[in-house]
Amino acid sequence: MTPYDAFAQFYDAVNGEPEELVTQLLDALARFAPDARSLLELGCGTGAVLAGLGSGLELTGLDMSERMLAHARRRCPDARLLVGDITSFDLADTFDVVVCVFDTLNHVTTPAGWRSVFANAAAHLREGGVFLFDLNTVGRLRDLGDAAPWVYDFDGHTLVMNVDFLDDPLAVWDIRIFERLGDATFRLHHESIVELAVELEHVRTMLSPYFDVLEESDTQGSRPTDDSERAFIVARRLPDAPVRVPVP
């Protein structure tokens, strides 16, 4: 199974609408790409972010999970939604903006894979295009690994989630959903998701051949550190970025 296939039908109910993240993205677009007309989201999942961005942009989404994309197609009927790997895609197209949020980047479990994501993002951006992404920091994943399992009841079902960070820098998210079928009957949906923790200085180094970092912020609006909960980064494609030309 592709990651998130088992979780797909419950994803939106568990996570809710990403209003705060969408507001952050719209603010960054207004300041750094006010004339943007097209946007590609890497790891678009159920389309919650694309739906929140509204109708002012020509939207494209890429995700590995066909089950997640099935939800996205219902939520975003006007978006172009494609199955693909964010480390090795070629859409033969370029965009004004590329986004990769909800710690999608952490799901790429090797530094070489992160470099491929950055190279592919640059290759799919027009000159002067903007790349917006976020990530779980090393400190965030360490804290989650130290925390007790999270139990959440929703729509009559129960989610139990635990993060194991014993094999640093890999964090394993163990996700179990007990779907209620009747008064005393449940169906178990189990998924293990692996995330990679990368120090921010290393992230900046891997970005540097392709992008100029315009802004970095944590959840409080300050410059993030490896102990921050999350980092949000805005970067602009360098004019001389070593990117391949998309195949026509």
Domain count, the chain: 2
**Residues 78 and 108 both lie in one domain:** yes
CA-to-CA distance for 161 and 173, rounded, in angstroms? 7
Q: 246 pLDDT exceeds 70? A: no
Q: 243 pLDDT exceeds 70? A: no
In a domain, 243, yes or no: no
Query: To the nearest whole percent, how much of the chain has pLDDT over 70?
Result: 98
**Residues 83 and 120 both lie in one domain:** yes
**Residues 111 and 175 both lie in one domain:** no
Band (pLDDT 50/70/90 cuts) for residue 2 is: confident
Q: Are 161 and 175 in contact (CB under 8 A)?
A: yes
**Residues 121 and 150 both lie in one domain:** no
**Residues 85 and 133 both lie in one domain:** yes
Q: 248 pLDDT exceeds 70? A: no
**Residues 13 and 106 both lie in one domain:** yes
**Residues 176 and 99 both lie in one domain:** no
The domain of 18 spans: 8-137+199-237
CA-to-CA distance for 233 and 218, rounded, in angstroms? 9
In a domain, 246, yes or no: no
**Residues 67 and 164 both lie in one domain:** no
Band (pLDDT 50/70/90 cuts) for residue 247 is: very low
pTM of the full structure:
0.95
Give the DSSP H or E segment for 98: strand 95-100
In a domain, 245, yes or no: no
State the number of CA atoms in the 13 A half-sphere of 146 facing the CB. Answer: 6
CATH label of the domain that carries residue 159: 2.20.25.110
Q: Are 61 and 76 in contact (CB under 8 A)?
A: yes
In a domain, 210, yes or no: yes
**What's the mean pLDDT when you consider all of the chain?**
94
**Residues 31 and 107 both lie in one domain:** yes
In a domain, 56, yes or no: yes
Amino acid at 118: F
C-alpha angle 85/90/95, rounded to 5°? 105
Q: Are 96 and 38 in contact (CB under 8 A)?
A: yes
What would the pLDDT profile of 67-112 be if each residue is shown by its tens digit? 999 999 999 999 999 999 999 999 989 999 999 999 999 999 999 9
Q: How large is the average pLDDT for residues 200-229?
A: 97
Q: How large is the average pLDDT for residues 172-194?
A: 94
CA-to-CA distance for 86 and 91, rounded, in angstroms? 11
**Residues 119 and 170 both lie in one domain:** no
In a domain, 1, yes or no: no
In a domain, 3, yes or no: no
**Residues 114 and 76 both lie in one domain:** yes
In a domain, 20, yes or no: yes
User: What's residue 244's pLDDT?
Assistant: 59
What would the pLDDT profile of 3-40 be if each residue is shown by its tens digit? 898 889 999 999 999 999 999 999 999 999 999 999 99
Spatial CA neighbour of 79 closest among 101, 62, 97: 62
Spatial CA neighbour of 172 closest among 80, 109, 244: 109
**Residues 158 and 130 both lie in one domain:** no
CATH label of the domain that carries residue 211: 3.40.50.150
**141 contacts: CB under 8 Å, gap ≥ 6:** 106, 163, 165, 171, 195, 197
C-alpha angle 108/16/49, rounded to 5°? 55
Q: How many helices (H) and strands (E) does the chain have?
A: 7, 11
What would the pLDDT profile of 113-159 be if each residue is shown by its tens digit? 999 999 999 999 999 999 999 999 999 999 999 999 999 999 999 99
213-222 as b/e, with b when 16 or more CB fall inside 10 Å? Answer: eeebbbeeee
Q: 167 pLDDT exceeds 80? A: yes
CA-to-CA distance for 181 and 62, rounded, in angstroms? 32
